[in-house]
A = this chain, B = another copy of it.
Amino acid sequence: MSNEEALRQYDIKKFRTPDGYTSDIAVFTIVSKQLAEYKPPLMQLKLMLIKRSKLNAEGQLNIEAEKWALPGGFVQENESALEAAGRELEEETGVKGIHIKHFGVYDQPGRDPRGWIISNAHYAIVPEQYLSTRQANDDAAEVELFSLEDISRIELAFDHKQIIQDAIKQITGDLLQTTVAKNFLPKYFTYSELQALLLTVTDDPAIASDQSFARKIKSLPFIKPVIGQKTQRTSKIPTQLYEFIEMDIVKPIYTARY
C-alpha cells in the first residue's frame, strides 16, 4: 500500500504547529427555587465559572490569575476535545454522563498570551444538584454560579467573554429549536416545569401563557404524556407528567406563522 510509503516520507515537523489545544466548557445549570409546596418552580439559567488561582500546581505564578474563567484544560493526544471536556467536567464536579455539545472554535492569533493555543468550546448542561458537591481543581481556586446578567459585569480571562456570549446564544437557540431542554429536566416533567425552563430564555407569549402552553404541549410531536403518571409537586391538583420523545425537529422558517 503506497499510503504507508508516503507516510514514511512525510516529515511531521515541516509545519509550524499550535502550542496547545484546549477544551473549554460553558457549564449551564438551572437554579430552581421551589417557593412553597404545591407551586411550580421559579427557574434561572446560570453559568458556572472558576476563579483562576494566583499560583499553579507547580507554585509558579498563573496566567490570567484571579480572573473568572470557563473550566477547561489541555486536550491530550489520546482523546478528542469532547472527551477531554467530559473528563474535566468529571474532575471538576464529579459527574459523568453529562450532555456536552461543541459550539465553536476560538483560534484568533493572540487570543492566549502563552502562544498559539486553539480552544475548542463546548457547553454542558448539569442538573443543579450535581454542582452542590463542587470541588476546585489545581488551577481553580473558587467556583461560583453566575446569572447571565452578572457575567457581563465581571472580568474574564482570555477571550472567555466572547466564548460565553456565543455559548449563551447557542443554548438559547437550542432550547427553543431542539429538544435539549430535556437535559435540564427530570425524565418526567409537568407542563409548568418545561414552561418555567423555556421562560428563562424567551418571553414568547405563546409560552408564557399558562393555558396556551398547557394546550400546546399536548400537540407537540416530540413530547408525550406518561399515561397514568401524575405528580403533586407543582400544585395541589395532581398534574399530568410528560416525557420527551427522541427525535430531530427541523422547523423551516419559511412555513411558520408570524
Give the one of A9, A20, A213, A251 with max B CB within 10 A.
A251
Confirm or deny: A165 has a beta carbon within 8 angstroms of a beta carbon on chain B. Answer: no
A71-87 vs B, Cβ < 8 Å mask (1 yes, 0 no): 00011111111000000
Confirm or deny: A64 has a beta carbon within 8 angstroms of a beta carbon on chain B. Answer: yes
Assess whether B21 is in contact with A17, with CB atoms less than 8 Å apart.
yes
Confirm or deny: A115 has a beta carbon within 8 angstroms of a beta carbon on chain B. Answer: yes
Assess whether B64 is in contact with A253, with CB atoms less than 8 Å apart.
no
Confirm or deny: A6 has a beta carbon within 8 angstroms of a beta carbon on chain B. Answer: yes
Interface members, chain A 37-87 (any B CB < 8 Å): 60-65, 74-81
User: What residues of B have a CB within 8 angstroms of the CB of A258 in the complex?
Assistant: 219-221
Which B-chain residue is minimally distant from A4 (CB atoms)? B113
A78 to chain B, nearest CB (A): 5
Assess whether A16 is in contact with B114, with CB atoms less than 8 Å apart.
no
Assess whether B177 is in contact with A250, with CB atoms less than 8 Å apart.
yes
Assuming the A-B contacts A102-B104, A255-B216, are A250 and B114 also in contact, with contact meaning beta carbons closer than 8 angstroms in the complex? no
User: What residues of B have a CB within 8 angstroms of the CB of A104 in the complex?
Assistant: 102
Q: How many copies does the complex hold?
A: 2
User: What residues of B have a CB within 8 angstroms of the CB of A77 in the complex?
Assistant: 16, 109, 116
Assess whether A20 is in contact with B17, with CB atoms less than 8 Å apart.
yes
Chain A interface size band reads: 35 or more
User: What residues of B have a CB within 8 angstroms of the CB of A16 in the complex?
Assistant: 76-77
Assess whether A19 is in contact with B12, with CB atoms less than 8 Å apart.
yes
Q: When the two chains form the complex, which single residue of B18, B64, B220, B250 contacts A21, counting CB atoms closer than 8 Å? A: B18
User: What residues of B have a CB within 8 angstroms of the CB of A25 in the complex?
Assistant: none
A146-154, A198-206, A231-239: which one contacts chain B?
A198-206
A209 to chain B, nearest CB (A): 11
Assess whether B206 is in contact with A15, with CB atoms less than 8 Å apart.
no
Assess whether A17 is in contact with B19, with CB atoms less than 8 Å apart.
yes
Task: Report the Cα distance A81→B206, complex, angstroms.
Answer: 41
Assess whether B202 is in contact with A74, with CB atoms less than 8 Å apart.
no
Task: Report the Cα distance A199→B80, complex, angstroms.
Answer: 36
Assess whether A5 is in contact with B219, with CB atoms less than 8 Å apart.
no
User: What residues of B have a CB within 8 angstroms of the CB of A62 in the complex?
Assistant: 6
Interface members, chain A 127-184 (any B CB < 8 Å): 172-173, 176-179
The 9 closest A-B pairs by CB, nearest first: A6-B61, A176-B252, A206-B255, A9-B60, A251-B256, A249-B253, A12-B115, A80-B107, A6-B63
